[in-house]
Structure 1
Amino acid sequence: MKTIFLAVFICLFQNSSCFLPPKFQWKVIDFTWANQSRKAAIDSGLYVAENNMPTGLARRREKVFVTIPRWKRGVPSSLNYIYVNGSQQQPLNPYPSWADAVLSDKDGGISSNSTVVSTFRVHADRCDRLWVVDNGVTDMSMDVKQVADPAIVIFDLNTDKLLHRYIMGHDVLRESSVLTSIVVDIGKNCSDAFAYIPDMGSNAIIVYSLRTNEAWRVDHHYFHFDPHAGTYKVGGVHFYWSDGVSSVALSQTRKDGYRDLYFHPTSSTKQFKMSTKLLKNKNVPSEDIFNGVAVVGDRGANSQATACDFDHQSKILFYTQLCKNGVGCWNTEKLFTAENNPVIISDCNLLEFPNDVKVDQEGNIWILSNRQSRFLYESMDFDQVNFRILTAPVSAVVQGTPCERTTVFGKALSFVKRNKSGSKQSLTN
């Protein structure tokens, strides 16, 4: 830990935009072919190395979970893991097993209820469970095939066994639905859990109650993209996206017993929030939902973000910065201003297309970059390193930045400024 802190300090002192060397990196993604024949997988088309692009991660104890959506043919396993203390270029292990990961030979469907067809991002909760939202589709960038119903899949991380698979119905999904991430809100006990799932494709948030085993859909016009923020340039590739909300994050529990759900459409520069009190009640009036979403602020030009996560210890919201090849942050105890939303980590090579960011329960930030714009719209050079996972302690990364923890005096000053800002807004309304 001392070595990591020293390396981060030296890096920040010399160049505020640099970062630690990658914890893991790959030119191409490969797998542990224990009882599988790698050559047979290649010959049959089960494995096409250049079609495997990781998009999400989550760390829990000795494992780092890595997801690979089935964008194209030749992805043998969508949900995988590597070992925290393993080699930098270690192959991926299908989770929970090879037998579950590979699609059925008979009809191309799922091999078991533990099979995850295609997932973008996952969530590891404090009850040692891994939550996965499975879109159930293959060949997403070409000829989309729905091989299984979209589902929420929950694993016990102590036993690596399936706990539950919930099939989502047509009442919460739409034809354009694309489910990109999941975050879990745990109440008084592990059974008192709600999952919030952004539907990026049809502009909604799906809420799932583990206790009642039911889901419902929440719509709001703030879930839609901003047409003024749909243009991107990443890795020299220009493209246009009309993506809605692709990631959400939960604040600490407030005095009223609920949390704030922070969200932003991918193609937007604005930050929003709403109380989970509105989300947990499936019968809440639509006008309450409409009036219950607050605009936190605007991050500024070219600040579109795919993913976000909240560090409950420091109360910092982290988010990826696609067009800036980095990660930004906001200390939620401070005003939401451009100055308080710095890009704290940036590197055009190491962090080209930062696609996911997570904070683990030990206070470390994890970042995955994958050159996705090249993968989807141009071509990849597989003689170069394309996929990276970087990590460092949160406290070291934010040291000396506006996201660093505020003093008691700073909190009081921020409170006064926030109240003055609110008074001005009320006078102008």
Structure 2
Amino acid sequence: MIFKIIFLAASLVTSSISYQFQNKAIGTLYRWKQIDFDFPTPQHREQAIQNGEFNQINVIPLGVERWKNRVFVSTPRWKKGIPATLSALPVAAQEESPLLAPFPNWDWHNAGNCTGFTSVFRMSIDHCGIMWALDSGQVEAFETPRQLCPPTLYAINLETDTVVGRFPIPSEFVLQNSLITNIIVDSRDAECRDLHVYIADAWRFGLIVFRMSDAAFWRFSHYTFYPEPLLSNYTLHGLNYQWSDGLFGMSLGQFYRGDRPLYYHSMSSSLEFVVKTSVIRDPSRVNNAVGEFKLLGESRGPKGQVSASAVDRNGVMFFNLISLDSIGCWDTRDEYKNSNLNIVAHNNVTMIFPNDLRIDHEVPQIVWIITNRLPMYQFNLIDPNDYNYRVMYMDPVSAVQNTVCQLA
């Protein structure tokens, strides 16, 4: 039996909203046909259009995070004409398609100024209110890629909206054609002093670790970070394309006896893996930890590609099924097998390519999702008259009711 969500999704293609979707606490906070920004004046906006700094059709939201009363969205500079790469929006929505407010302010968004932001991919916020933003340093990746600055990790205090740390990744850990794509923060103490950041290199198949106490970096390589050849061929709403993305999604499990697992997968893969964080937090293990990276369980099947994933306080993992317009779940206390995986949300209109997924620090927690039709964007197939981009939210407790992920 190939992962029961395949059957579920196939049975729902005649309806844009599935039965399960209608009965889950999931909704849309914001949606856009095209993204626009809160320029200082209309004249600034017009000037940006005239000089090529703003080309609206080229702007795509990628990463999402939430802290208190704000949601943060990244807009990487994958094509020309993207004036800002990280923005903030209120959680209390006033309109469905708001202008993005560059964060912390416009001064940080001069591409090529390596003291500011070049192209932010994704963000991860620790429980002390520091946003760790991953800047690739590269522009125009979907046109003629240019590496303007080193890939850099930024620390931003969300209580003061100030950048409190800037950590370029040393060149020995960034390989030729590396694509530094994803980030997750692992903080162990109340003051967030015992903090590590895990960074995925999807194109050169590596895991980069940052230790905040001394600003040290190191890199692991492992065969489980590679894509599966047959899972590198995708078909989404009639569009066939090939991606060979390796290590991408990462999520942290619950603490047990002073340790916690890092679950991870390649995007072009149907397999989930796990490693103890005590292993990857130790730089002396870089060259002697091959056996520590383990297959978690069964394959998710031929359309089991997953982008982002996250684990809530109850130990339930949520993951984006990018080829199925769906979000899945797995209770991490159970065996990773087909019968323990479920779809909790599916919609073949509003959830085309769920890309990023994060779970906030609030009580109760909320799952945040970006859907962005990324393959259509890459191949210039975005319809500017359709709603293409959404920030969605989901109650994790309600989402798993009447599924195998429901808490006993």
TM-score, with structure 2 as normaliser: 0.91
Q: Which AA in structure 1 matches 2:165?
A: H
Deviations 1:275-323 (A, max 9, x none): 0111111012623x10001111122221101111111x22011111011
Match of 1:61 in 2: 68
Match of 1:48 in 2: 55
SS of 2:336's partner is: coil
**Deviation of residue 167 (structure 1)?**
1.0
Q: Which AA in structure 2 matches 1:27?
A: K
Superposition pairs of residues 152-191 of structure 1, within 5 angstroms: 152-188=153-189, 189-191=191-193
| Residue 62 of structure 2 is aligned to residue 82 of structure 1 | no
Match of 1:209 in 2: 211
Deviations 1:65-96 (A, max 9, x none): 10111110001111111111132211111111
Deviations 1:245-296 (A, max 9, x none): 11211112211x1210100000100000000111111012623x10001111
Equivalent pairs, count: 385
Match of 2:378 in 1: 376
Match of 1:15 in 2: 19
Rounded Cα–Cα distance in structure 2 between residues aligned with 1:229 and 1:349: 23
**Deviation of residue 21 (structure 1)?**
4.2
Q: Any unmatched runs of 5+ in structure 1?
A: 1-12, 104-108, 407-429
Q: Judge which range, 29-38 or 219-228, deviates more.
A: 29-38
TM-score, with structure 1 as normaliser: 0.87
SS of 2:301's partner is: coil
Match of 2:40 in 1: 34
Match of 2:239 in 1: 237
Deviations 1:37-71 (A, max 9, x none): 11111111111000001111001111111011111
Match of 2:107 in 1: 99
Preserved contact between residue 265 and residue 271 of structure 2 (Cα < 8 Å): yes
Match of 2:145 in 1: 144
Rounded Cα–Cα distance in structure 2 between residues aligned with 1:141 and 1:40: 24
Preserved contact between residue 225 and residue 265 of structure 2 (Cα < 8 Å): yes
| Residue 323 of structure 2 is aligned to residue 317 of structure 1 | no
Rounded Cα–Cα distance in structure 2 between residues aligned with 1:84 and 1:364: 12
Superposition pairs of residues 218-229 of structure 1, within 5 angstroms: 218-229=220-231
**Deviation of residue 17 (structure 1)?**
3.7
**Deviation of residue 358 (structure 1)?**
1.1
Superposition pairs of residues 224-303 of structure 1, within 5 angstroms: 224-255=226-257, 257-284=258-285, 286-287=287-288, 289-297=289-297, 298-303=299-304
SS of 2:283's partner is: coil
CA-atom RMSD in angstroms: 1.6
Rounded Cα–Cα distance in structure 2 between residues aligned with 1:387 and 1:37: 25
SS of 1:22's partner is: strand
| Residue 334 of structure 2 is aligned to residue 327 of structure 1 | no
Deviations 1:97-149 (A, max 9, x none): 0111233xxxxx22x63x22112211111010000111101111111111111
Q: Which AA in structure 2 matches 1:319?
A: F
Q: Which AA in structure 2 matches 1:93?
A: A
Match of 2:387 in 1: 385
Rounded Cα–Cα distance in structure 2 between residues aligned with 1:93 and 1:220: 40
Q: Judge which range, 34-43 or 72-81, deviates more.
A: 34-43
Q: Any unmatched runs of 5+ in structure 2?
A: 1-16
Rounded Cα–Cα distance in structure 2 between residues aligned with 1:377 and 1:34: 32
**Deviation of residue 385 (structure 1)?**
0.5
Rounded Cα–Cα distance in structure 1 between residues aligned with 2:256 and 2:360: 21
**Deviation of residue 150 (structure 1)?**
1.0
Match of 1:425 in 2: none
Q: Which AA in structure 1 matches 2:406?
A: E
CA gap 1:37/1:71 in 2 versus in 1, 3 angstroms:
same
Rounded Cα–Cα distance in structure 2 between residues aligned with 1:392 and 1:144: 35
Q: Which AA in structure 2 matches 1:227?
A: P
SS of 2:385's partner is: coil
Preserved contact between residue 354 and residue 368 of structure 1 (Cα < 8 Å): yes
Match of 1:400 in 2: 402
Larger Rg over CA atoms: 1
Q: Which AA in structure 2 matches 1:334?
A: D
Rounded Cα–Cα distance in structure 2 between residues aligned with 1:216 and 1:392: 35
Match of 1:412 in 2: none
Q: Which AA in structure 2 matches 1:16?
A: Q
Preserved contact between residue 68 and residue 79 of structure 1 (Cα < 8 Å): yes
Preserved contact between residue 23 and residue 391 of structure 1 (Cα < 8 Å): yes
Q: Which AA in structure 1 matches 2:356?
A: D
SS of 1:291's partner is: helix
SS of 2:375's partner is: helix
Preserved contact between residue 196 and residue 281 of structure 2 (Cα < 8 Å): yes
| Residue 31 of structure 2 is aligned to residue 25 of structure 1 | yes
Preserved contact between residue 235 and residue 374 of structure 1 (Cα < 8 Å): no
Structure of higher RCO (CA pairs closer than 8 Å, 6+ residues apart): 2
**Deviation of residue 181 (structure 1)?**
1.2
Rounded Cα–Cα distance in structure 1 between residues aligned with 2:323 and 2:233: 10
Superposition pairs of residues 350-365 of structure 1, within 5 angstroms: 350-362=350-362, 363-365=365-367
Rounded Cα–Cα distance in structure 2 between residues aligned with 1:358 and 1:14: 23
SS of 1:42's partner is: helix
